[in-house]
Amino acid sequence: LAKTTQPISMDSYEGQEVNITCSHNNIATNDYITWYQQFPSQGPRFIIQGYKTKVTNEVASLFIPADRKSSTLSLPRVSLSDTAVYYCLVGAGLYSSASKIIFGSGTRLSIRP
Amino acid sequence: GAVVSQHPSRVICKSGTSVKIECRSLDFQATTMFWYRQFPKQSLMLMATSNEGSKATYEQGVEKDKFLINHASLTLSTLTVTSAHPEDSSFYICSARGRQGNTDTQYFGPGTRLTVL
């Protein structure tokens, strides 16, 4: 199981772009990288998933270098409502068996006015 | 995206009673569901992996006789906390594995807040 390392916390301001980097040196060939967002007393919410290069959806972008040993979640123009804990997870590969996903400590993002 | 529900959203019970929490995948079939526990200000801790029609696989340190898991169908898994005690008070979250395109993704339920008095 690939272990992930993220900054414990980050601060930013409304309207800024926020980049959260995750290290996963032991990522396996068939592992995908998935990011989740969690608000207090709620279940994690899926943000984005990728395998390599760049993935973009309506809420975020995910940048993955060629060696796939790290990834960066990019949140454009954050607002106060983006204050949450963000988890980087590795696993659930393509056509994989039911591999389990272990949560790391996550990054507590605080957005200020 | 896929929807996973949990019921109840919160429950308060007396010490020594048993509590059942349901997890349902509403718009997809989930061959595998996962149960997590989360204490305040901490990350999610995986308790067990539940496969439809077979026994659950528990993580080290999780008592299988205390946390009974049943995955009777492709859309329903239940977690029963037996003889609950105050230290079992926590936020319990389930997730279901579903396929989105060519990849598997875990979708999480909203969680159940258990308070044992």
pLDDT band at A94, cuts 50/70/90? very low
Instruction: Out of A36-45, B64-73, B82-91, B102-111, pick the least confident.
Output: B102-111
Residue B48 reports pLDDT greater than 70: yes
Burial of A95 (0-12, 13-18, 19+ CB in 10 A): exposed
Other residues' Cβ atoms within 10 Å of the Cβ of residue B54:
9
For residue A95, what pLDDT is reported? 46
Best probe of the B interface among A8, A38, A48, by most B CBs < 10 A, is A38
CB contact under 8 A, B4 and A43: yes
> Does the pLDDT of residue A93 top 70, yes or no?
no
Q: Which residues contact A67 (CB under 8 A, 6 or more apart)?
A: none
- Given a cut of 50, whether residue B55 has pLDDT beyond it is yes
Please write the tens of the pLDDT for every residue from B67-89.
999 988 889 999 999 999 999 99
**For residue A23, pLDDT beyond 50:** yes
Rounded distance, CA A75 to CA A106, Å? 16
Mean predicted confidence (pLDDT) in A28-53: 92
**What does the block give as tokens for B77?**
């898994």
Best residue of B29, B46, B69, B104 to probe chain A, by most A CBs closer than 10 Å: B104
Q: What's the token pair of residue B63? A: 């008592």
Residue A48 contacts residue A73 (beta carbons within 8 Å) = yes
pLDDT average, residue stretch A2-15 = 93
For residue A5, pLDDT over 70 is answered with yes
Could you tell me how many CB contacts below 8 A there are between chain A and chain B?
Answer: 65
Mean of the pLDDT values across residues B86-107? 85
Kindly report the length of chain A: 113
Is residue A3 pLDDT above 90, yes or no?
Answer: no
Paired strand residues for A10: A109
Q: What is the pLDDT of residues A54-92, one digit of tens each?
A: 999 999 999 999 999 999 999 999 999 999 999 999 885
